[in-house]
Structure 1
């Protein structure tokens, strides 16, 4: 086995079980490890720290996976890790009103570069690390043994694969090809999702609890759902008695999916308006026409993919939320989110305070949101807490 030695002043995070070793922390490597190899990581005194997955092309040179020297990551190790992750979701898997669950959440489940989602009787898998690519068949076999799905479909087409020297990979890994429109259920609401062509793995179950909580404020309200995708917030609002819902997204596929979902749930389509448009532009149109709403949801894509982009992203978040607040009267509610891991809650609150000031509004924070519990956050990997949100009231 190849050994990676760290620089003297670059061992603290690794000892504290943070899973990332950046290339700049490497002092030397014994031999020539290949991308995807399991390597032994040691400190400057050659004392063992952890086993990890090596990649010489990535900024993250080693992804640490095991800190016990006696537990070498062999086939049994991988099977145990997959099994533990799935078993941790058993309470959700037993739910009668939800059948879409994140089964494996990468570093948070000690399986960096691996995402697995369950959609009804199908699984969707994403692989973003060369070390996991090598054990793809093993992971597939274990998932089949644990859950016996109708099929496992791979959606490994994210940009992260490029940094690992991997090409995109889409297609059936085992079992059947999922139907073009697969029906799933979340919070008792039916959704038709396209696993093969939808965004990422097909559906965002990280907002499950936030959709339900926000919907409790929707009864009798005029609701605006921005960046609505397949309609999670829109549909929950209808299910809780919203007077009307306007849904906005720039994606044609999102609009098609949303309309199917409104129809399949039997909601009153006369109370729903779906607009395919750039959200910021549409918010300006609403403002110029004097349109107002009682509850607005802003769930934009990732504005800050890294800390170096945070300042620019902060301006974008502030402007977006300012435009949203301008459409709310006294007592109106804004549910606003950031899925940027680089954005912490304290900074997000400050951005909302600035947005409110610029909009001439006074707001209260009445709820903080985070990702659902099938997206756990490891104490040693706070970057796993990527989703945060705020429910704000205009006063």
Structure 2
């Protein structure tokens, strides 16, 4: 195994829990690391700091893979086994959850979402790209996968300088459409062409809080995807729901999911872009659900929130989710406040929400908790 020597300050960061380092943190290397083969990270004096991936073309060329005492043999299966044990303790139904969440599960650049016996994989670093056969084998052997599907067609790969790939099968015969259960609701999702891996497990805490906001509410959901939010609003007493999505296929699935959950007659789903919908709708609602994934910049985010505030009645509730990127880390509530100020509306925060337990992240890594959500009462 090759050695990579790090500066004194970089070694201090690793010892204090850092999970990635910059190129200037590297002092020297024994030869040229092969992408996908772990290296031994050492300080200036040669003391072992742990295992890592080194990719000099990446924005963060050094990524932590293991602690100083950790063996490289069996590393991928070992981390996947630990991830399974975590979910068994922390998730209500571990058959449907995120199984591997990047650095939070010790596998930087790897995402694995589980749909009972079907597993969907995304790789976000070149080292993980190179390990795809080993990853597939570990998921099958450790997690008992019936099928494994690779979804490397996301915009996030392009933003990281990685070539997008068409969805393709790594193992078994995954279905295009799959059913899942979450918090008492049933969903059909598109594993092959749906957004990300087909379903937003990362919004589970937001869905849980909807039970407190939805009773007898008239609801607007302008960016509903397959209905992950408004379905739960309906199951907890919403009396009327108007929902939209820019993707016609997602809107069709949202319609099917509404019927599958007994919401026929209370839900109307149409096609439309979120901002266009918020501009065109003239009514106000008791509860507005705004997923801002279509907002491409802070100013665009503010515009989406402003329009959502306009559609929220006096004393109504607004449930917002934001993501970074594109939002700068730590800017979410400041931008929400800016939108309220521009609309001259007073808002009270009812709850601050974030990622669920199946999305663990290192505590000292800014940006790892990529989702922010807030429930507001708007006056």
Give the structure 2 partner of residue 203 of structure 1. 199
Pick which of 50-59 and 338-347 moved more. 338-347
Give the structure 1 partner of residue 117 of structure 2. 121
Matched, 1:318 2:302: yes
Give the structure 1 partner of residue 76 of structure 2. 78
Matched, 1:267 2:266: no
Q: Secondary structure at the match of 2:51?
A: strand
Matched, 1:62 2:57: no
For the residues of structure 1 that align with 2:301 and 2:157, how far apart are their CA atoms?
Answer: 27
The C-alpha deviation readout for 1:103-148, integer Å capped at 9, x for no partner, is 1111000011111111133111112223223433333233223332
Q: Secondary structure at the match of 2:136?
A: helix
Q: After the TM superposition, which residues 150-299 of structure 1 pair with which residues of structure 2 at under 5 Å, given as runs?
A: 150-159=146-155, 161=157, 163=160, 168=165, 170-178=167-175, 180-268=176-264, 270-286=265-281, 289=282, 291-299=283-291
For the residues of structure 1 that align with 2:103 and 2:155, how far apart are their CA atoms?
Answer: 18
How much has 1:328 moved relative to structure 2? 1.8
Pick which of 253-262 and 44-53 moved more. 44-53
- Kept in 2: contact 1:196–1:202 (CA 8 A): yes
Give the structure 2 partner of residue 308 of structure 1. none
Structure-2 change in CA distance of 1:107 and 1:282 (3 Å): same
Q: After the TM superposition, which residues 369-384 of structure 1 pair with which residues of structure 2 at under 5 Å, given as runs?
A: 369-384=353-368
The C-alpha deviation readout for 1:304-346, integer Å capped at 9, x for no partner, is 7xxxxxxxx3322222111111122221001111121675786
Structure 1 unaligned residues grouped into runs of 5+: 305-312
For the residues of structure 2 that align with 1:328 and 1:294, how far apart are their CA atoms?
Answer: 6
For the residues of structure 2 that align with 1:295 and 1:22, how far apart are their CA atoms?
Answer: 44
State TM-score, norm by structure 2. 0.91
The C-alpha deviation readout for 1:367-390, integer Å capped at 9, x for no partner, is 001011111122233432111111
- Kept in 2: contact 1:35–1:56 (CA 8 A): no
The C-alpha deviation readout for 1:238-275, integer Å capped at 9, x for no partner, is 1112111111221122112111211222312x332223
Q: Secondary structure at the match of 2:49?
A: strand
Give the structure 1 partner of residue 107 of structure 2. 111
Structure-2 change in CA distance of 1:160 and 1:285 (3 Å): closer
Q: Secondary structure at the match of 1:368?
A: strand
Pick which of 216-225 and 167-176 moved more. 167-176
Q: Secondary structure at the match of 1:89?
A: helix
For the residues of structure 2 that align with 1:302 and 1:50, how far apart are their CA atoms?
Answer: 39
Size of the aligned set, in residue pairs, is 378
Give the structure 1 partner of residue 44 of structure 2. 44
Give the structure 1 partner of residue 88 of structure 2. 90
Matched, 1:336 2:320: yes
For the residues of structure 1 that align with 2:274 and 2:309, how far apart are their CA atoms?
Answer: 14
For the residues of structure 1 that align with 2:272 and 2:45, how far apart are their CA atoms?
Answer: 58
Structure-2 change in CA distance of 1:66 and 1:121 (3 Å): closer
- Kept in 2: contact 1:215–1:233 (CA 8 A): no
Q: Secondary structure at the match of 1:322?
A: helix
Structure 2 unaligned residues grouped into runs of 5+: none
